[in-house]
């Protein structure tokens, strides 16, 4: 039982419990706060995987920017709490459970049975180097420069689109 495994178990527990709490709490703001907690646990897991850059971006972009946007919209619209989530007995609840279990079994099958488990010994140093800003920046600005530019254009389009959509009164 080394420290990495303990850290993984703690972070994985936080991530899964907070995701479950997020879909079962009635208040939308409570759900959003649990999602932020989930994002922080994910950032910890990224650090455990030697992905420093992604961990920092996860906290800044997801937990910072995106969730603040969500919370702003929640407070602007001030929607009512959903009266009941798990208590009412509509068939969609059963359907949701079925689909969820089915998809999970599919993925678990792919992970454990579908792939041949050759024991590839992971190169620790290589893994650590692959997560540094230097490596990622080098790839991003050489081999992936066109996708990078396209991503910038996409963000510009999204900004303009969001302003137009939110401003205009449809009549």
- Rounded Cα gap, residues 79 and 103, in angstroms: 31
The answer to whether 121 contacts another protein (rule: CB under 8 A) is yes
Q: DSSP letter for 132, please.
A: S
- Rounded Cα gap, residues 51 and 24, in angstroms: 31
Among 89, 91, 122, 146, binds another protein (CB under 8 A): 122
Phi and psi (nearest 5°) for 2? -95, 175
The answer to whether 8 contacts another protein (rule: CB under 8 A) is yes
What is the distance between the terminal CA atoms of the chain, rounded to a whole angstrom? 63
Site for another protein in 73-102 (CB under 8 A): 73-74, 76-77, 79, 82, 85-86, 92-93, 95-97, 99-101
Site for another protein in 19-78 (CB under 8 A): 19-20, 22-23, 28, 31-32, 35, 38-39, 42, 45-46, 48-51, 53-54, 57-58, 61-62, 65-66, 69-70, 73-74, 76-77
Give SS3 for 144: coil
């Amino acid at each position: 039982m080394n420290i990495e495994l303990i850290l993984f178990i703690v972070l994985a527990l936080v991530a899964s419990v907070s995701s479950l709490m997020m879909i079962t709490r009635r208040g939308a703001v409570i759900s959003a706060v649990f999602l932020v907690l989930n994002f922080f646990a994910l950032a910890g897991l990224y650090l455990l995987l030697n992905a420093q850059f992604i961990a920092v971006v996860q906290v800044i972009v997801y937990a910072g920017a995106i969730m603040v946007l969500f919370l702003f919209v929640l407070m602007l619209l001030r929607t009512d709490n959903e009266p009941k989530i798990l208590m009412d007995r509509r068939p969609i609840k059963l359907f949701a459970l079925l689909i969820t279990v089915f998809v999970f079994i599919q993925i678990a099958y792919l992970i454990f049975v579908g792939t041949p488990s050759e024991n590839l010994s992971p190169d620790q140093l290589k893994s650590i180097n692959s997560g540094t800003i230097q490596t990622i920046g080098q790839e991003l600005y050489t081999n992936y420069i066109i996708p990078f530019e396209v991503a910038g254009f996409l963000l510009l389009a999204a900004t303009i689109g969001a302003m137009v959509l939110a401003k205009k009164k449809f009549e």
